[in-house]
């Protein structure tokens, strides 16, 4: 049986040849549209990533600030818990800017000053003393602090205001108001109160001394938020 011939008179297959598809590239408009879409998607992805980074940094800053504040309040509680009435200098005094207190520390006593200057909460500690004269000198120095002493420790910034209240007689009163007083008899310091020094001259008589409160309330404004902390004072 003869094979069919094509138009050119040659033998060929019975199936028609499949035409090859034409191949073409992208037009300039299509490329520009694709680039624009990619640019928009990249911008949205960057904004999302930037927002996540900012949120992470903000959360970490808040955590660090809370941890720092907890450490400061723990130190505040320790200072008040170690309050010591030496009958030589006032154990607790607040003038609206600075709180001076006398506390036991490392076998002696020291004067601690908590102050608020320029929106920064600061803490200063005197050297530990064991005799009357150095204690009186430390107390006088604590009343003359300027806030730029090398021993000053900056605790927290963005503090706008603080106030203290004392708990006496089942009621809270402003620490700057006149408190309960008690008559005490002052006695001269024993001989040798300081190495090689004579007894400190103290006039015998009745002196009026403010009684220690049963508790101290701290009210401090930090970054627009008010924080209140109550500390009970045990027997001294």
pLDDT of 186 reads 43
Please give the average per-residue pLDDT across 153-172, as a whole number.
Answer: 92
Show Cβ contacts of residue 37 under 8 Å, excluding neighbours closer than 6 positions.
Answer: none
pLDDT of 17 reads 53
Residue in 112, 52, 113, 103 with CA at minimum distance from that of residue 81: 103
pLDDT of 70 reads 92
pLDDT tens digits for range 126-137:
999 999 999 999
* More confidently predicted of 90 and 199: 90
Show Cβ contacts of residue 183 under 8 Å, excluding neighbours closer than 6 positions.
Answer: 206, 207, 208, 209
pLDDT tens digits for range 71-93:
999 999 999 999 999 999 999 99
pLDDT of 16 reads 56
Q: What is the overall mean pLDDT for the chain?
A: 80
* pLDDT value at 176 more than 70: yes
Q: How far apart, in Å, do the first and last CA atoms of the chain sit?
A: 129
pLDDT of 185 reads 43
pLDDT of 37 reads 86
pTM: 0.66
Strongest mean pLDDT among 5-9, 54-58, 169-173, 174-178: 169-173
Residue in 135, 113, 130 with CA at minimum distance from that of residue 122: 113
pLDDT of 202 reads 38
Residue in 121, 189, 195, 178 with CA at minimum distance from that of residue 153: 121
pLDDT of 54 reads 77
Residue in 225, 96, 103 with CA at minimum distance from that of residue 164: 96
Helix (H) and strand (E) counts in the chain: 2, 11
Task: Categorize the per-residue pLDDT at 218 as very low, low, confident or very high, splitting at 50, 70 and 90.
Answer: very high
């Amino acid at each position: 049986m003869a094979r069919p011939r094509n138009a050119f008179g040659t033998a060929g297959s019975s199936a028609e040849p499949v035409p090859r598809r034409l191949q073409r590239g992208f037009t300039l408009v299509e490329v520009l549209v694709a680039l624009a879409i990619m640019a928009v998607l990249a911008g949205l992805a960057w904004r999302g990533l930037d927002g996540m980074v900012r949120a992470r940094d903000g959360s970490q800053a808040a955590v660090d600030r809370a941890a720092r504040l907890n450490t400061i309040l723990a130190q505040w509680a320790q200072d008040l818990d170690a309050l010591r009435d030496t009958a030589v200098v006032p154990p607790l005094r607040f003038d609206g800017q600075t709180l001076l207190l006398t506390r036991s520390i490392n076998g002696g006593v020291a004067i601690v000053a908590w102050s608020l200057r320029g929106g920064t909460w600061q803490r200063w500690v005197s050297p530990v003393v064991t005799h009357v004269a150095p204690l009186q000198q430390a107390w006088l120095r604590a009343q003359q602090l300027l806030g730029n002493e090398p021993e000053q420790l900056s605790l927290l910034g963005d503090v706008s205001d603080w106030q203290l209240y004392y708990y006496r007689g089942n009621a809270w009163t402003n620490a700057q108001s006149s408190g309960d007083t008690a008559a005490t008899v002052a006695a001269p310091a024993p001989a040798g109160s300081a190495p090689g020094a004579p007894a400190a001259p103290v006039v015998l008589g009745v002196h009026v001394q403010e009684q220690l409160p049963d508790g101290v309330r701290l009210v401090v404004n930090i970054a627009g938020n008010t924080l209140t902390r109550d500390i009970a004072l045990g027997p001294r």
